[in-house]
C-alpha cells in the first residue's frame, strides 16, 4: 500500500512540475526494421548501407564513423519485414602483425575504463575491435535511441585513442 501511495504522489508531483503531460504517451521504439535502422544511422551522419542476412533476413548495416568503417548486426528479429530488438555495432582493425600480450593489456585497460563499448581481440585474424550493443526490448524513446546511436562514434574514437596510446608506450 505504501508503494501505491508513493507512486501516486510521485506521479502527481511530475504532473504538477510539468514533467509529464496528462494523457501524453511518447511512442516507444521496441524494434527496428532495415529501413528504420537506415534512417536512424543516417540521422547520426553514419553513412549507412543496409543489406540483409541471407540466412535470417535480418538487416545488417555497414557505415562510417569519421575515418572508421563499422557494421551493425540487428538481432532478436521477428515479423515481416524483420523488426529487431537488439543492435550490435562493431568495428574491427587489422594489427598488421601477430597479437601480443601488450594488445591484451590495452584491451583490458579500455574495458576497465569505459562504460560504453567492449574491446576484444580476434587472435586468429590478428585483429582488435570494439563493439557496442543497444537493446530496444521494453521500448525506448526516439531521443534515447538517437543519443545511443550518436555515442557509437565516440566509442570507436575512444578505443582507437586508447589503442594508439598503449601501442606507442610499448
As given in the structure block, the three cell numbers for residue 132 are 557496442
Q: Which three cell numbers stand for residue 84?
A: 529487431
- Residue 21 has a pLDDT of 42
DSSP state of 26: P
Give CATH for domain 27-168. Answer: 3.30.1460.70
Q: Are 127 and 94 in contact (CB under 8 A)?
A: yes
What pLDDT tens digit does each residue of the chain (170 aa) get? 333 343 343 334 334 433 344 444 568 999 999 999 999 999 999 999 999 999 999 999 999 999 999 999 999 999 999 999 999 999 999 999 999 999 999 999 999 999 999 999 999 999 999 999 999 999 999 999 999 999 999 999 999 999 888 877 65
Res 167: pLDDT: 77
**Dihedral angle at the C-alpha atoms of 64, 161, 91, 29, nearest 10 degrees?**
-70
**Cα(156)–Cα(66) distance, integer angstroms:** 9
Do the beta carbons of residue 164 and residue 103 sit within 8 Å?
Answer: no
pLDDT at 166: 81
**Cβ-Cβ contacts under 8 Å for 21 (sequence gap 6 or more):** none
Q: Residue 93 and residue 95: Cα distance in Å, rounded?
A: 6
Amino acid at each position: 500500500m505504501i508503494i501505491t501511495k508513493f507512486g501516486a504522489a510521485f506521479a502527481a508531483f511530475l504532473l504538477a512540475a510539468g514533467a509529464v503531460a496528462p494523457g501524453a504517451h511518447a511512442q516507444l521504439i521496441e524494434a527496428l526494421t532495415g529501413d528504420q535502422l537506415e534512417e536512424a544511422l543516417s540521422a547520426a551522419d553514419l553513412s549507412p548501407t543496409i543489406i540483409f542476412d541471407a540466412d535470417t533476413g535480418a538487416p545488417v548495416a555497414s557505415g562510417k564513423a569519421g575515418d572508421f568503417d563499422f557494421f551493425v548486426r540487428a538481432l532478436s528479429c521477428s515479423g515481416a519485414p524483420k523488426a529487431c530488438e537488439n543492435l550490435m555495432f562493431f568495428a574491427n582493425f587489422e594489427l598488421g602483425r601477430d597479437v601480443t600480450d601488450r594488445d591484451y593489456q590495452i584491451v583490458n585497460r579500455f574495458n576497465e575504463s569505459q562504460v560504453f563499448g567492449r574491446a576484444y581481440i580476434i587472435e586468429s585474424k590478428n585483429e582488435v575491435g570494439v563493439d557496442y550493443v543497444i537493446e530496444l526490448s521494453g521500448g525506448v524513446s526516439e531521443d534515447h535511441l538517437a543519443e545511443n546511436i550518436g555515442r557509437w562514434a565516440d566509442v570507436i574514437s575512444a578505443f582507437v585513442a586508447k589503442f594508439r596510446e598503449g601501442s606507442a608506450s610499448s
